[in-house]
């Protein structure tokens, strides 16, 4: 049980657990399992096999989710948690760092020819949607439940054509290390969020957010600066 250490205003403050926990290397048999799966199945069949274990709560389900994801991903680190319901598309384009947490029902939606890198110790909350066309998330990032990262948008030109039939503009999304993105936030194509910044819940981020900033609103605006090394940045 977490020990209460301080209280400021309503609620209470307790020590962080996930980001500070010890990270052990995965046992060798897990890497052996992934290698065996790659020998036994073609990638499409392996992705289909994943569905059998995607939603289960048991130890074997969790093991198989990790094993299949590791077999298919460009990189898959040690100590990754893949919760029930978490899914992927084109995992061969995705590199996942050590200790990443992928929450219940989250979807990492890779694209043909795309690239996605998720830094170590990043926490992806339940129900998140990551459009991984051109996505880089730094280490130690927190994505609250229901965060949506969008990597493309229709040009909507010419005006006489159905919007969904117009060309797509694909633009990279970059989220700096140590940032925290509040629940339900939407991050639009081409946005860069600086390191150690905070984005309030429910924001719509359409323009860049600088490092050590606190932003909120629709559209998101910087409302204050955080302190770095004892001074305001």
Question: Are 99 and 79 in the same domain?
Answer: yes
> Do 158 and 144 contact (CB within 8 A), yes or no?
no
Nearest to 174 by CA among 210, 226, 204: 210
**Residue 1's pLDDT band (boundaries 50, 70, 90)?**
very low
Question: Are 83 and 158 in the same domain?
Answer: yes
More confident residue, 81 or 21: 81
Question: Are 89 and 174 in the same domain?
Answer: yes
pTM equals 0.91
* Average pLDDT of the residues in 50-79: 98
Supply the range of the domain harboring residue 103.
75-226
Give the number of domains in the chain: 2
Alpha carbons within 13 angstroms on the beta-carbon side of residue 45 total: 6
Task: Tell me the chain's radius of gyration from C-alpha atoms.
Answer: 19
| The pLDDT value given to residue 145 | 98
Q: SS3 of 189, please?
A: coil
Nearest to 33 by CA among 61, 83, 68, 77: 68
| The pLDDT value given to residue 99 | 97
* Average pLDDT of the residues in 174-203: 98
DSSP notation for 217-233: TTTTEEEEE-EETTEE-
* Average pLDDT of the residues in 203-216: 98
Q: Active-site residues: which are they?
A: 154
C-alpha 209/C-alpha 207 separation (Å) is: 7
Question: Are 96 and 205 in the same domain?
Answer: yes
Is residue 103 in a domain?
yes
Tens of pLDDT, residue by residue over 89-127, are 999 999 999 999 999 999 999 999 999 999 999 999 999
* Average pLDDT of the residues in 43-66: 97
**Residue 179's pLDDT band (boundaries 50, 70, 90)?**
very high
Please determine, for residue 11, whether its predicted confidence score (pLDDT) is greater than 90.
no
Between strands 107-118 and 94-96, the pairing is: parallel
Tens of pLDDT, residue by residue over 68-98, are 999 999 999 999 999 999 999 999 999 999 9
Is residue 232 in a domain?
no
Question: Are 201 and 114 in the same domain?
Answer: yes
């Amino acid at each position: 049980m977490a020990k209460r250490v301080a209280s400021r205003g309503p609620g209470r403050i307790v020590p962080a657990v996930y980001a500070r926990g010890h990270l052990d290397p995965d046992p060798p048999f897990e890497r052996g399992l992934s290698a065996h799966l790659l020998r036994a199945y073609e990638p499409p069949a392996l992705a289909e096999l994943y569905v059998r274990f995607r939603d289960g709560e048991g130890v074997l389900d969790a093991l198989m989710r990790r094993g299949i994801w590791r077999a298919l991903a460009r990189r898959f680190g040690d100590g990754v948690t893949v919760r029930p319901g978490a899914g992927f598309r084109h995992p061969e384009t995705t590199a996942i760092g050590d200790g990443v947490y992928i929450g219940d029902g989250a979807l990492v939606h890779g694209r043909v020819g795309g690239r996605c890198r998720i830094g170590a110790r990043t926490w992806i909350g339940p129900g998140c949607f990551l459009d991984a066309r051109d996505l880089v998330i730094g280490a130690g990032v927190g994505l609250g439940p229901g965060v949506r990262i969008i990597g493309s948008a229709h040009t909507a030109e010419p005006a006489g054509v159905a919007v969904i039939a117009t060309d797509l503009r694909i633009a990279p999304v970059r989220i700096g290390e140590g940032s925290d993105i509040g629940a339900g936030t939407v991050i639009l194509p081409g946005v860069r969020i600086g390191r150690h910044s905070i984005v309030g819940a429910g924001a719509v981020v359409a323009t860049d957010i600088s490092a050590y900033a606190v932003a909120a609103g629709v559209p998101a605006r910087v409302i204050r600066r955080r302190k770095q090394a004892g001074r305001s940045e």
